[in-house]
């Protein structure tokens, strides 16, 4: 049965979410939506599941005690994240203010170069290049340049008042989850990409309340599609993973769209998929209970693995560190998963199995500070006309997002690759043309365009 502390935890998440939204929308924060994206990703995998388990007509699959333990610890983590992001990061980025600079559009040639490079990385992965040692991190990080170019396109549309371009890019963004379902069989990747671009758009759009109200029906439609997708997921993945042509892949997706069941919070059949797939709290709670029985800790093992992950496999072919949970979730929860199933640890889980509750507090505080710095650095570069610096910090932020459902092993190679990749692109494409070369609309520093 839900207690007052659990209810307070649910409300604290809402408060942090409101703070993240207001900060992103505020001209004084001058970010690029990364902090809001990180919060939304954590909320998607912790808060929604906790809310479902709080409903009196629903019984959590993992058991109420397990979910209760996990959610209360994840709430401690989100509070630490908020302090690090919105308390510590501004102290570290006091110089990140655009001053009296004007809002400028991106150089078209560089924007197209980013998109082309990202598309080339995707095609290389599709053709099997990721099987080459050390290429997975390079190509996956390079593919994120597509989202850099989409966000820069939204920025240009807002600066130049091009509503048509803005509308086209937003429609493309809404299609991203369908793209990842058709190409990979996974919905989660596309949803994260959608959240990333929409969080960037929050920073641009001046009518804050109007946008917030528009997000509510979008969330309802998203939940409705999610429960319908989970119903047909096996058919969709079979078509994708067996390498069938796209007409065969599209058929089960269209069937899902035609038979969407509108989300009903009183239908336990709709609540179960959310509990199953969007409730990392059950794994955290299981890890807490497992530790109480065994006293077994990782003692920084996964942190050290994230350092070893920086060594390219081309140099160290026998490297045992790989992306994913490496069965650590099973080891620290005692849960045996089906063969071939990979379960991501997530930020809270990983810091807990290493250093306990204080590890969660310190780890999320540090993660919040790093995300906040990346967010403000990216926003400062964007408003100052430094497109390559924006790409660098934005790519770093995207790589950090993978820790919300994955592990730090996946983060560190991506961050290093993001820095190296943007340096190489700057060398190939040349530096940005002088700001005076653009005919830009004058605006107050950091202010959003009135779209």
Q: Which pLDDT does position 374 carry in this prediction?
A: 96
Where does 161-280 have alpha helices with state H?
163-184, 188-204, 208-241, 246-258, 268-277
Q: Which pLDDT does position 66 carry in this prediction?
A: 94
Q: Which pLDDT does position 446 carry in this prediction?
A: 39
Q: How many domains does the chain have?
A: 1
Task: Note whether residue 50 is domain-resident.
Answer: yes
Helices (H) and strands (E) in the chain, counts: 18, 0
Task: Note whether residue 375 is domain-resident.
Answer: yes
Q: Which pLDDT does position 114 carry in this prediction?
A: 92
- Taking the alpha carbons at both ends of the chain, their separation in whole angstroms is 46
Task: Note whether residue 102 is domain-resident.
Answer: yes
Task: Note whether residue 45 is domain-resident.
Answer: yes
Q: What's the number of CA atoms in the CB half-sphere (13 Å) around residue 311?
A: 11
What is the C-alpha to C-alpha distance for residues 138 and 142, in angstroms, rounded to an integer? Answer: 6
Task: Note whether residue 449 is domain-resident.
Answer: no
Task: Note whether residue 442 is domain-resident.
Answer: no
Q: Which pLDDT does position 441 carry in this prediction?
A: 42
Contact between 229 and 187 (Cβ < 8 Å): yes
Task: Note whether residue 332 is domain-resident.
Answer: yes
Which residue's entry shows tokens 């497109």? 387
What is the C-alpha to C-alpha distance for residues 307 and 310, in angstroms, rounded to an integer? Answer: 6
CA distances 201 to 158, 159, 448, Å, are: 10, 12, 10
- pTM comes to 0.90
Task: Note whether residue 447 is domain-resident.
Answer: no
Block means of pLDDT (10 residues each) for the chain, 451 residues, are 88 96 88 95 94 93 92 97 96 74 74 91 83 78 93 92 90 89 85 93 82 82 89 86 84 86 91 91 95 90 85 65 67 77 83 96 97 95 90 94 87 90 86 46 42 55
Residue numbers of the domain that contains 167: 4-435
CA distances 206 to 103, 129, 201, 448, Å, are: 15, 43, 10, 6
Q: Which helix (H) or strand (E) holds 303?
A: helix 301-308
């Amino acid at each position: 049965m839900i207690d007052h502390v659990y209810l307070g935890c649910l409300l604290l998440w809402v408060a942090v979410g409101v703070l993240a939204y207001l900060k992103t929308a505020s001209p004084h924060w001058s970010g690029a939506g990364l902090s809001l994206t990180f919060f939304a990703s954590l909320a998607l995998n912790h808060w929604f599941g906790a809310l479902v388990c709080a409903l009196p007509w629903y019984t959590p699959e993992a058991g109420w005690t397990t979910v209760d333990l996990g959610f209360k610890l994840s709430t401690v983590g989100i509070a630490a994240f908020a302090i690090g992001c919105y308390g510590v990061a501004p102290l570290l980025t006091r110089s990140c203010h655009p001053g009296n600079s004007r809002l400028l559009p991106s150089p078209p040639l560089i924007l197209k170069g980013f998109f082309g490079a990202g598309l080339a990385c995707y095609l290389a992965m599709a053709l099997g290049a990721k099987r080459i040692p050390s290429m997975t991190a390079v190509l996956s990080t390079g593919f994120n340049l597509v989202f850099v170019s989409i966000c820069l396109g939204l920025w240009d549309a807002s600066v130049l008042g091009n509503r048509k371009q803005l509308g086209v890019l937003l429609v493309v963004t809404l299609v991203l989850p369908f793209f990842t379902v058709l190409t990979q069989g996974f919905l989660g990747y596309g949803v994260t990409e959608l959240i990333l671009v929409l969080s960037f758009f929050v920073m641009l759009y001046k009518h804050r309340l109007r946008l917030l109200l528009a997000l509510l029906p979008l969330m309802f439609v998203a939940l409705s599609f999610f429960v319908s997708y989970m119903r047909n997921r096996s058919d969709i993945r079979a078509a994708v993973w067996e390498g069938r042509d796209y007409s065969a892949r599209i058929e089960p997706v269209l069937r899902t769209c035609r038979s969407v069941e509108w989300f009903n919070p009183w239908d336990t059949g709709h609540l179960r998929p959310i509990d199953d797939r969007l409730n990392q709290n059950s794994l955290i709670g299981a890890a807490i209970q497992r530790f109480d029985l065994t006293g077994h800790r990782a003692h920084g093992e996964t942190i050290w693995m994230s350092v070893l992950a920086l060594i390219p496999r081309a140099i160290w072919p026998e490297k045992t560190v790989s992306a994913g949970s490496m069965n650590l979730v099973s080891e620290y929860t005692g849960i045996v998963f089906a063969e071939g199933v990979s379960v991501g640890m997530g930020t809270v889980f990983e810091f807990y199995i290493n250093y306990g509750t204080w590890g969660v507090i310190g780890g999320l505080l540090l993660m919040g500070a790093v995300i906040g710095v990346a967010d403000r650095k990216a926003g400062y570069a964007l408003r100052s006309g430094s497109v390559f610096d924006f790409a660098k910090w934005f790519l770093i932020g995207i790589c950090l997002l993978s820790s919300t459902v994955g592990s730090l092993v996946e983060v560190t190679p991506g961050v290093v690759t993001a820095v190296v990749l943007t340096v190489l692109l700057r060398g190939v494409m040349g530096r940005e043309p002088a700001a005076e070369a653009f005919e830009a609309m004058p605006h107050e520093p950091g202010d959003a365009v009135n779209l």
